Amino acid sequence: MSYQKLKGTLDFYQQEAAKMRFIEEKAKTILNTFGFEEIITPIIEPTDVFVRSSGDSSDIVNKEMYTFNDRGNRSITLRPEGTASVVRSFLENKLYVNSPLTKLYYCGPMFRYERPQAGRYRQFMQFGIEVFGEGSAFLDADVIISAYQLLSALGIKGIQLKINTIGDFISRKDYAAKLQAYFAGKMDDFCEDCQKRLTKNPLRILDCKVDANKDIVQQAPKIKDSLSAASLSHFKKVTDILSMMQIPYQVDETLVRGLDYYTDTVFEFILAVPGELQGLAICAGGKYADLVKNFGGPDIPGIGYAFGMERIMMVMNSQSLFVDTFKKTDVVMICLDEDSKKVGLAFANHLRSENLTVEMDYKNYSLKQQFKLADRVNPRYILIIGEEERTSGIFTIKHTQKNTQEKIKKENIVTYISDKNNENS
């Protein structure tokens, strides 16, 4: 019997796994400079954690969650996103007691029962951040800047930042009523989901993957006409700071985001260069003034975003941005008889303790067969040990790029390899 991975899941091996870790490391390096610390939460949570935060009319809660009862008959969900788990942990561990501002990042798999297609999977990796404690426009802007810096550090070109404000809870209620009145009677050819959204949460019609591009949707009343003066001035401050920092952005009045918990600033980074990946959303986030309170915690505002790591990888592949994700092998050992293999294995481990990457052929004894492995691995050096080398303690070392060969005392080999003059590959 042979098995295949589940639909909508991916294996990452060798090069692809190294690329994934490369993105993660780069992201961590940048976020450390912004004062973020890591949080690792469980992949499973009580289902209610997600229902309470995302909202029971969201696509995630309605259609996409992997939910099951465990053997103790508790309803458990594989996390579909990071924010709810982080808020749960922030409250459960009372992190707000230690400091007025908490900056956290996370990285790990998320699960959504979606229709799989390029860049959309059922298990995917997100790298995200959450900041708790501050509602200032300066924080909103700095959070957006951190995402921008991260994409710049990865070298990604052609990214567009879309930003909007969706105001506070009261303004949104007012706006929802306006949308209901506007859409009533105009939705005959809209999808089934949108028909339900009209009464449950009409804002989501603007976010619909099927209907959002329809003229009727594009011409719908705009949220800014329902917003309070405070929301509008907050948004102006955020965009002014972004302009001051020369971060390019585009205000997109139809950007509403799919989750219930956002307030005021929402944003997305999408790929704007022509081609197959044009329009792909790479990062999304926003401010959530009331989420912590709605979870039963103190009245502490938060803001966060999440990157889709597979999507970053797709874009970086398409822009040929992975160059030095691999450590090259320093040495391949070629050992010509059983006793030389013993000496070689010991010496390989000595070199490894000096932080060199060393491989050897475990099986073959002939020079020709072992050179085959060396050719495939393409190391900087090849070390040859036969009876003569073994007894004299003087090994033959071949510089593969220069195609030169020398005999070096074994105790001098680490220095020889580390010597910059010999290192031109």
- Choice between 28 and 120, CB closer to ligand ATP: 120
Supply the DSSP symbol for 422.
G
Supply the DSSP symbol for 224.
G
Give the per-residue contact string, 275-304, with ligand ATP (x = CB under 6 A; - = no): ------xxxx--------------------
Token pair recorded at residue 409:
């005392």
- Whose CB is nearest to ligand ATP? 308
361 scored as a contact of ligand ATP (CB under 6 A): no
Q: Which residues contact 308 (CB under 8 A, 6 or more apart)?
A: 119, 124, 125, 126, 281, 282, 283
Q: Name the β-bridge partners of 69.
A: 75
Instruction: State the nearest-atom distance from the C-beta of 310 to ligand ATP, in Å.
Output: 5
109 scored as a contact of ligand ATP (CB under 6 A): no
Q: Is 91 exposed, middle or buried (0-12, 13-18, 19+ CB in 10 A)?
A: middle
Interface segment toward ligand ATP; rule CB under 6 A; list 48-56, 117-125, 233-241, 350-358: 117-125
Instruction: State the nearest-atom distance from the C-beta of 135 to ligand ATP, in Å.
Output: 21
Interface segment toward ligand ATP; rule CB under 6 A; list 169-177, 240-248, 308-316, 371-379: 308-316
413 scored as a contact of ligand ATP (CB under 6 A): no
Neighbours of 255 (CB within 10 A): 20
Q: How many CA atoms lie within 13 A of 279 on its CB side?
A: 4
Tell me if 109 sits within 8 A of 127, measured CB to CB.
no
Interface residue with ligand ATP among 167, 301, 304, 308 (CB under 6 A) is 308
Interface segment toward ligand ATP; rule CB under 6 A; list 165-173, 188-196, 307-315, 374-382: 307-315
Instruction: State the nearest-atom distance from the C-beta of 110 to ligand ATP, in Å.
Output: 7
Interface residue with ligand ATP among 310, 330, 361, 389 (CB under 6 A) is 310
Say which residue the tokens 């932080």 belong to: 355
- Choice between 193 and 330, CB closer to ligand ATP: 193
- Choice between 197 and 311, CB closer to ligand ATP: 311
81 scored as a contact of ligand ATP (CB under 6 A): yes
Q: Is 358 exposed, middle or buried (0-12, 13-18, 19+ CB in 10 A)?
A: buried
121 scored as a contact of ligand ATP (CB under 6 A): yes
From residue 305, how far is each of 28, 179, 217, 244 by CA, in Å?
A: 14, 27, 26, 22
- How many amino acids of this chain bind ligand ATP (CB under 6 A)? 17
- Spatial distance between the Cα atoms of 356 and 328, rounded to a whole number of angstroms: 10
- Spatial distance between the Cα atoms of 361 and 58, rounded to a whole number of angstroms: 56
Token pair recorded at residue 336:
């010509």
Interface residue with ligand ATP among 19, 172, 204, 311 (CB under 6 A) is 311
- Choice between 122 and 390, CB closer to ligand ATP: 122
Interface residue with ligand ATP among 22, 36, 50, 124 (CB under 6 A) is 124
Tell me if 343 sits within 8 A of 335, measured CB to CB.
yes
Instruction: State the nearest-atom distance from the C-beta of 10 to ligand ATP, in Å.
Output: 10
Supply the DSSP symbol for 117.
B
- Choice between 149 and 400, CB closer to ligand ATP: 149
Interface segment toward ligand ATP; rule CB under 6 A; list 118-126, 190-198, 368-376, 414-422: 118-126
Tell me if 213 sits within 8 A of 199, measured CB to CB.
no
Q: Which residues contact 139 (CB under 8 A, 6 or more apart)?
A: 131, 303
Name residues contacting ligand ATP, limited to 255-274 (CB under 6 A). 258
Q: How many CA atoms lie within 13 A of 417 on its CB side?
A: 26
- Choice between 147 and 227, CB closer to ligand ATP: 147
- Which residues sit at the interface with ligand ATP, rule CB under 6 A? 81, 112, 114, 119-121, 124, 126, 258, 281-284, 306, 308, 310-311
